[in-house]
Chain A
């Protein structure tokens, strides 16, 4: 306590690097128990028997988790021990719920999702193996920016992009649908981090002071305005409110972190509010979303999904109906967009709150990684990934629970969908990579005796 008071800066140095892989393994066992247990409960709840394929399914899940753990142990030994188990628990719960909905409506999404999960983990491993040092990514700053923008625009290419449920955010290649925006999110996070590391000093220059806040210089507003226009473009051409908010929010937050100037939040917030209001005035699909948020019960035909989501949550109540014992399948897209309310119905307020807290833990572990990270790029990258993740969770769960207008984003790790799963596992790989670097013991910089003997110039 005394040391903390006298020398607060010592706190950071007092951080003792520990690998904590054993803790990760223990948490992984808990996470697997949740995932496999949920799968067994689905069978018990619906048919009063444990599903016959529990061994194959559970075995598959265990193998995937063990692969992740072993790879992390080898190539990122100092990585954060909480993130991976949290993600595995969410993924397992999502699979169990998708399986439960499959049984109700004779679909086979869970099988596909398991394949996507295996693929995602392969990509996760590949990312950890290829990106041995996250600072290498800084060299690809503009490449990533370019790739991100191209990916964002892919769905607008005629013949490639397809309109699904009113939003043009999908591409279809040889029978496979993919949401390139999910990967674009990662590319843009890398791009923003790299770009802002370079420009932070220029952007941090204060302009005029107005109402107690330092407003930036006019010419420094360029990048934020450009990003604002890109976000509006996403909103206008792809009709995707959620991604629009996500990209813009990500950029503004990183700008704030890089420059340490809260004024960017004010400017960004004002631009967002203005853009959202203009969008509301100009586009009927935005009005529909807002109307469905404020008065869903006035138009049962149009807003049936939101209404069903609300019924679903209410039906779940505090303790939930139990896995396999509710009617989540009455909600359209209960396995993807509305998996949040499906879980709320069967696991209740208790279960859904636990899930939200697990998301919160992932975000706060990511931000903690940013705090202890020693290089600016790593800090910005970890903040970007964590905040984008937090925004996405907030926008989609807030949307399905009628806290904010509903937008079409996927629920990370829970909802059905390959592109989202792959992108989010890459995100986890990058976070683990940054955290491995951040939590590693600092390199020993004391010169060795051997240097003294071969030194050309005598230093001491």
Chain B
């Protein structure tokens, strides 16, 4: 019977070898992923009791770890929490992390491989490892101007503002309202943190913790006409080409018609493309969209970043341009309705792309990653996401957008001595809800330093008074002034 016993001995050896190999797999190969899992309370507790690096805006920390008087040793403190919460996110020993606290967790907690040498030194010196710090691209004055602007609107305003450096893609301001105070859930008092968490999640119809600037998508309305105009200019049209005007556009394959805001005729039955954009003529752009075709529109929208996930530093939603549409839907999509939906970040990118000679830059919010000893470990490297339009088309479109500000619907963003390019928009989401108001603009038009998108989801203003220029315009202007005036 000895031969089978020897075989079994090999078999048992194989069983134990499998156990050993699997242990190596879990404890070494998979360990990184498992430790990074945001639901992993062990790692969170360990990280809670570690001195985490700061998140810096300008020279000042907006999130930092300060000594606490309990066994977790450090507690996270957010300064100007409501202003920066959409970007920093929260850090909780119970609920994990979001925002930059999540995406740059490896650096902030000190577990990043770029901090390996620091960790070894700390280990040898028997010191608690420290985290590195993260410098954001946010311009504190632009950020403040954006939130102040939203706060000036009456009532419980919901909205978002994104400002970009058009030549780099750096995010200069990112504000979402309503906002929240991450300190409320960073506290080590478990019952307080739990109550606040419940208040901010399940019990919160306003979705305070949602970053409306990048996480949500909305119909962009007339601001989307910039994309259609870009497609037209790239396909043989010029700013002076005549397009259809008038009061109505009959939609093919249906009995429905498309009309203009307030029943206007856009200034004639035949108008220039510049005029159509200046007065935001739905009939013109609906007709233009039908002539260009759904595929051309889709290609143009995707070159600006629609249907693509290009931003991983904060949680963000993919903006949407529908594929395979019939003609009525194409006409509606051309005025930013139907299934077209964009995040404020996306519309800021469209604007910045036009400002930057047609090159859409990949957006980023992390400027520098620094070691605990303040050595720069990594620096943002601006890159072109897509060349959406040619430089000459960008110039023509810029001129048309300046015209929108000078003579058209975006009067509110005019600045003395500086030429501003802009486009307004309103979009209907549903019959019961009041329309969304949009404003996108950049300045100075001849040497763009800032591109901004302002989005107002809801505010306490009677329905007839809701307009992109009227509500969102002053906010956009405030942000642009804050950047240019620096």
Q: Which residues of B contact A115 (CB under 8 A)?
A: none
Size band of the interface chain A makes with B: 35 or more
Q: Which residues of A contact B3 (CB under 8 A)?
A: 260
Instruction: Fill in one digit per residue for A256-268: 1 if any B CB lies within 8 Å of its CB, else 0.
Output: 1110101000000
Q: Which residues of B contact A360 (CB under 8 A)?
A: 12-13, 16
From residue B24, how far is it (CB to closest CB) to chain A in Å?
Answer: 7
Q: Are B6 and A401 in contact (CB under 8 A)?
A: no
From residue A250, how far is it (CB to closest CB) to chain B in Å?
Answer: 12
Q: Are B9 and A257 in contact (CB under 8 A)?
A: no
Q: Are A367 and B8 in contact (CB under 8 A)?
A: yes
Instruction: Fill in one digit per residue for B5-19: 1 if any A CB lies within 8 Å of its CB, else 0.
Output: 111110011011011
Question: Is B41's CB within 8 Å of the partner chain A?
Answer: yes
Given known contacts A364-B12, A364-B13, is B6 in contact with A371 (CB within 8 Å)? Answer: yes
Question: Is B34's CB within 8 Å of the partner chain A?
Answer: yes
Q: Are B34 and A310 in contact (CB under 8 A)?
A: yes
CA distance A363 to B9 in the complex (A): 8
From residue B26, how far is it (CB to closest CB) to chain A in Å?
Answer: 5
Q: Which residues of A contact B5 (CB under 8 A)?
A: 257, 367, 370-371, 379, 383
Q: Are A353 and B35 in contact (CB under 8 A)?
A: no
Q: Which residues of B contact A297 (CB under 8 A)?
A: 37
Interface of A is mostly: helix
Tell which of B9, B12, B28, B41 touches A349, judged by Cβ atoms closer than 8 Å. B28
CA distance A159 to B8 in the complex (A): 41
From residue B188, how far is it (CB to closest CB) to chain A in Å?
Answer: 16
CA distance A393 to B16 in the complex (A): 9
Q: Are A401 and B12 in contact (CB under 8 A)?
A: no
Tell which of A253, A258, A330 touches B42, judged by Cβ atoms closer than 8 Å. A330
Q: Which residues of A contact B34 (CB under 8 A)?
A: 310-311, 313-315
From residue A225, how far is it (CB to closest CB) to chain B in Å?
Answer: 21
CA distance A308 to B362 in the complex (A): 38
Q: Are B43 and A311 in contact (CB under 8 A)?
A: yes
Q: Which residues of B contact A258 (CB under 8 A)?
A: 1
Q: Which residues of B contact A393 (CB under 8 A)?
A: 16, 19
Tell which of A315, A344, A359, A390 touches B23, judged by Cβ atoms closer than 8 Å. A344
Given known contacts A327-B42, A327-B45, A356-B20, is B12 in contact with A379 (CB within 8 Å)? Answer: no
Q: Which residues of A contact B12 (CB under 8 A)?
A: 360, 363-364, 367, 386-387, 390
Q: Are B2 and A349 in contact (CB under 8 A)?
A: no
Question: Is A275's CB within 8 Å of the partner chain B?
Answer: no
Tell which of B6, B15, B27, B46 touches A313, judged by Cβ atoms closer than 8 Å. B27
Q: Are B19 and A318 in contact (CB under 8 A)?
A: no
Question: Is A357's CB within 8 Å of the partner chain B?
Answer: yes
Q: Are A401 and B22 in contact (CB under 8 A)?
A: yes
From residue A279, how far is it (CB to closest CB) to chain B in Å?
Answer: 21
Question: Is B4's CB within 8 Å of the partner chain A?
Answer: yes
Given known contacts A300-B39, A360-B16, A403-B19, is B2 in contact with A371 (CB within 8 Å)? Answer: yes
Q: Which residue of B lies closest to A259 (CB)?
A: B4
Question: Is A408's CB within 8 Å of the partner chain B?
Answer: no
Given known contacts A364-B13, A387-B12, A390-B12, is B1 in contact with A257 (CB within 8 Å)? Answer: yes
Q: Are B19 and A394 in contact (CB under 8 A)?
A: yes
Q: Which residues of B contact A315 (CB under 8 A)?
A: 31, 34-35, 40, 42-43, 46
17 sampled A-B residue pairs with Cβ under 8 A = A253-B8, A262-B4, A313-B27, A315-B34, A315-B40, A315-B42, A327-B41, A349-B23, A349-B24, A356-B16, A357-B16, A357-B20, A367-B5, A367-B8, A397-B19, A398-B19, A403-B18
Residues of B within 8 A of A (CB): 1-9, 12-13, 15-16, 18-20, 22-24, 26-28, 30-35, 37, 39-43, 45-46
6 additional contacts, CB 8 Å, given A313-B27, A315-B35, A402-B22?
Answer: A317-B28, A356-B16, A356-B20, A390-B15, A394-B18, A394-B19
